[in-house]
Amino acid sequence: MASRRWNNGLVQWLDDRFPIVSATHHQMYEYPMPRNLNYWWNFGSLAGIVLVILIFSGVFLAMQYQPSVNYAFDSIERIMRDVNYGWLMRYMHQTGSSLFFAIVYIHIFRGIYYGSYKSPRELTWATGVIIFLTMMATAFMGYALVWGQMSFWAATAITNLFTAIPLVGENVTTWLWGGYSIDNPTLNRFFALHFLFPFIIFAIVVMHLIALHTTRSNNPLGVDLKSRQDWIPFHPYYTVKDAVGVGVFATVFAILVFFMPDALSEPENYIPADPLVTPEHLVPEWYFLPYYAILRAVPDMGFMSAKLAGVIAMFGAPMIWLLLPWVDRSPVRSATFRPIHRFFFWVLVVNCIVLGWCGANVPEGIYLIISRIATAYYFLHFLLVIPVVSLIEKPRAVPTSIAKPIFEKPTPEFSAAVAAGQRP
Amino acid sequence: MRALTRKPITTFLVLIAFIAALPAVIANAASTDGEEIEPPDLPDWSFSGPFGRYDQAALRRGLQVYVEGCWDCHSLRHVAYRSLSALGIGYGPEDIKAFAADFDVVDGPDETGEMYERPARPSDRFAAPYPNKEAARAENKGMYPPDLSLITKARKDGANYLYSMLIGYTDPPAGVEPVPGMYYNKYVPGHFTGMNAPLLDNLVEYDDGTEATVEQMSQDVTEFLSWAADPHMNERKSLGLRVVIFLVLLTIMFIALKKEVWSHLYTPPEGHPESGDASGKPAREAK
């Protein structure tokens, strides 16, 4: 039931039956957005836009792609050479998936820095982690579709990990492959699932947004909205601010797509898959490097083979984020007011980049030692550092409201507005 | 330092700079092993950089080098004869037809069920030198000469890799034991390769009178194979330039619009003389 009356009869007729106008009006003008969001808050909407770009370019690619071990690689070359603007769709899809991960990583670390996972936003956080896990699966299967050397051997290496599952490992792997090795049935199901998963991601994104709009956005101060002075409507303030982010992102995206489309991927994947020739170095795309380092860093645990332990650690690495709302006991959300927590946040960021760097190198000598230390720290960060710091740290004073610091330390524009008799 | 770490963006940028420098430092410290090979003088590729485009004369010469020097062993299976028109090397439809007709391709089966050879048509892809991989191996001491359609994309820094390899054939230096059936190349990793030097001075005779040195032919064929791997590069960069200029202007407009909109963040209270008319329109002139 739409409560609002509209001047136009047709709009009213529509809104009485399908309240799209009221709902949009509510989200645009009545839904409160904290007035102090900084540009780190742009990455959520950017991720949504990139998802749409990937779905659109992907649908066009799917119209021309052949999921067959004999034709997959060649059909992509045909898209690149003979299909009108096929090269554009393909490069947008390839570069877009890389940037999707970059944006989502920034979005996740923003959430960690500002404590966006804390009560009452635990389920916004959890749905976000599930989106990320689904993204990983989607990206992995999409990469296999290229059917280049890296595609084939990455798919082989990752699906082989399932043989580490005790007792049923071999059976599970055969079931995943649809045969006794990676072959046509595997490629076919990867194609089907790679087409399906983005829509599942889209559905979880809707859940993510419902949860977000129930608890409302966190903000850099991490304090709740208390009065009318604390919030502003989404439109025009955040529509226009998001537009700035979209403009900057689109420019970076275009530079990559048009001028350095292969800069983020491995040259080896332009060699067609050959089950008889193993590439010298097996390297995943950059966004999987930290997990790859973790997989290879874990030693034989005695009670558990190195392989099984590595697999558990690798899949556990993103899943451990689900614990964050409960291991962090501090009532203060924003790291701005938590000096020790903030220090360790940056240690985590560096640690993840170091892991990525180890993942790109052969796990021998110094690289193996570094990746073992970094892997240990990664898990200790969530299981030990965060809980302990949250209990012993004395946070700095947190402002009582979002508007208060603005009143206390007014900007010149603000003072001018007040002097002119305007109330913020 | 306090002020530095207060804003996440500053900390982030400092960290990025620090971490970006780290691998270089470590690689520098680790690069003392291995023998020293003086890197070759690399050509200035006409196609490098955002404004770089393929050089038509070089493409034309490179096509000749490929056909006369490489085609005996290396296929170019993703490239169709018709796409040579896109080369911009002055080949009209009739020239391409004549060019393609010099190659034989297998077609069929005909009405008696037999496969047959016929002259290639513009719509065909480059005819392969061997009927299949096994035949290629049998003719080449068990090694398979790779297809060259994507060779510059399939190697790191592909154009320079290919050029260095082509000019890198020398006699093994003193103290290096020759490997029977393999050929020494100073720039190839491992130094021994199954391919003999494919280019010798004056292997081809250029129509435009350019002297066919190994360096010249290597540069030309690299240019041609770069085109073969990335035939839409000219179009892509031209379109890209327009797209990026448009997006930069659009972003500047968005930034201006954002500043304008956010400068009206402080709305006067209801009933205030400057609060605008009854429809709720803010009095923008009030500022």
Q: Is the pLDDT of residue A1 over 60?
A: no
Q: Among the listed ranges A358-362, A393-397, B114-118, B270-274, which one has the minimum average pLDDT value?
A: B270-274
Q: Is B273's pLDDT higher than 80?
A: no
pLDDT on residue B15 = 72
Average pLDDT, chain A: 93
Which DSSP symbol is given to B76?
Answer: -
Q: Is the pLDDT of residue B93 over 70?
A: yes
Beta strands in A2-80 (DSSP E): 32-34
Would you say residue B283 has pLDDT above 90?
Answer: no
Q: Which of A15, A45, A93, A242 is catalytic?
A: A242
- From the candidates A77, A213, A226, A227, give the one annotated as an active-site residue: A213
Rounded CA separation A374/A368 (Å): 10
Contacts of B258 in chain A (CB under 8 A): 240-241, 243-244
In contact, B118 and B105? CB cutoff 8 Å: yes
Q: pLDDT by residue (tens digit) across A170-205?
A: 999 999 999 999 999 999 999 999 999 999 999 999
Confidence of residue B89 (pLDDT cuts 50, 70, 90): low
Answer yes or no: are the C-beta atoms of A46 and A245 closer than 8 Å.
yes
Task: Give the pLDDT confidence score for residue B275 in this predicted structure.
Answer: 37
- What pTM was estimated for this model as a whole? 0.90
pLDDT band at residue B241, thresholds of 50, 70 and 90? very high
> What is the reported pLDDT for A2?
46
Provide the shortest C-alpha distance from residue A68 to chain B (in Å).
17
Q: What's the gap in Å between the CA of A417 and the closest CA on chain B?
A: 7
Interface contact flag, A257 B240, Cβ < 8 Å = yes
> Is A194 known to be catalytic?
no
Burial of A389 by CB count in 10 Å (0-12 exposed, 13-18 middle, 19+ buried)? buried
Lowest mean pLDDT among A306-310, B105-109, B276-280: B276-280
Query: Cβ atoms within 10 A of the Cβ of B125, count?
Result: 18
Nearest by CB to B154, from A80, A241, A270: name it.
A270
Q: Is A274 one of the catalytic residues?
A: no
Question: pLDDT at position B272, please?
Answer: 44
Q: Where are the domains of chain B?
A: 44-53+61-75+146-257
Q: Which of B266, B281, B284 to mutate to test the interface with A (most CBs of A within 10 A)?
A: B266
Q: Name the strand (E) or helix (H) holding B107.
A: strand B104-107
Any chain A CB within 8 A of the CB of B3?
A: no
Whether residue A64 contacts residue A86, with contact meaning beta carbons closer than 8 Å, is answered with: yes
Quick one: pLDDT at residue A230? Answer: 84
What pLDDT is attached to residue A219?
Answer: 96
Contacts of B206 (CB under 8 A, 6+ apart): B61, B64, B212
At B30, the pLDDT band (50, 70, 90 cuts) reads low
Rounded to the nearest 5°, which phi and psi values hold at B105?
Answer: -125, 155
Residue B203 pLDDT grade (very low, low, confident, very high; cuts 50, 70, 90): very high
Lowest model confidence (mean pLDDT) among A161-170, A180-189, B263-272: B263-272
Residues A68-104: tens digit of each pLDDT: 999 999 999 999 999 999 999 999 999 999 999 999 9
- Per-residue model confidence (pLDDT) at position B177: 86
Three-class DSSP category at A79: helix
Separation in Å, CA of A275 to nearest CA in chain B: 14
Mean pLDDT (chain B, rounded): 84
Burial bucket for residue A254 (CB in 10 Å: 0-12, 13-18, 19+):
buried
- Distance of CA B130 to CAs A58, B63, B83, B174, Å? 36, 19, 22, 37
d(CA A152, CA A146): 9
A21-44 per-position pLDDT tens digit: 999 999 999 999 999 999 999 999
Residue A16 annotated in active site: no
The answer to whether the CB atoms of B78 and A422 lie below 8 A apart is no
Residue carrying the six token digits 């002139």: B285
Q: A411: pLDDT confidence band, cut at 50, 70 and 90?
A: low
Distance from C-alpha of A408 to C-alpha of A191, rounded to nearest angstrom:
57
What residue in B sits closest to A357 (Cα-Cα)?
A: B23
The per-residue pLDDT for range B39-71, each reduced to its tens digit, is 889 999 999 999 999 999 999 999 999 999 999
Instruction: Assess A83–B contact: CB distance below 8 Å, yes or no.
Output: no
Q: What is the pairing mode between strands A231-233 and A32-34? A: antiparallel
Instruction: For residue A335, give the nearest of B140, B51, B5 by alpha carbon.
Output: B5
Domains of chain A, each with CATH number or no CATH: 29-276 (1.20.810.10), 283-393 (1.10.287)
Q: Identify the residue with better confidence: A292 or A281.
A: A292
Place B287 in a pLDDT band, splitting at 50, 70 and 90.
very low
Instruction: Tell me the two tokens of residue A54.
Output: 């990937």
Residues of A in contact with B272 (CB under 8 A): 421-423
Where does the pLDDT of residue B274 fall: very low under 50, low under 70, confident under 90, or very high at 90 and above? very low
Query: Hey, are the CB atoms on A254 and B243 less than 8 Å from each other?
Result: yes
Confidence check: pLDDT of B1 > 80: no
Q: Average the pLDDT over B204-231 and give the result.
A: 95
How far is residue A268 CA from its own chain's centroid? 26
Catalytic residue among A285, A328, A341, A371: A285
Could you report the per-residue pLDDT of B144-187, keeping only the tens digit for each?
Answer: 899 999 999 999 999 999 999 999 999 888 888 888 888 999 99
Write down the CATH superfamily of domain B44-53+61-75+146-257: Cytochrome c-like domain (1.10.760.10)
Chain segment A283-339, per-residue pLDDT in tens: 999 999 999 999 999 998 888 888 999 999 999 999 999 999 999 999 999 999 999
Chain B residues in contact with A353 by the CB 8 A cut-off are 15, 19
Rg (alpha carbons) of chain B, rounded to whole number = 30
**Residue A357: predicted pLDDT:** 95
Could you tell me if A251 lies within 8 Å of chain B, comparing CB atoms? yes
pLDDT given at position B115 = 93
Interface contacts (A, B; CB < 8 Å): 124
pLDDT digits (tens, 9 = 90+) for B245-255: 999 999 999 99
Amino acid at B131: P
Show the tokens assigned to A148. 């280049």
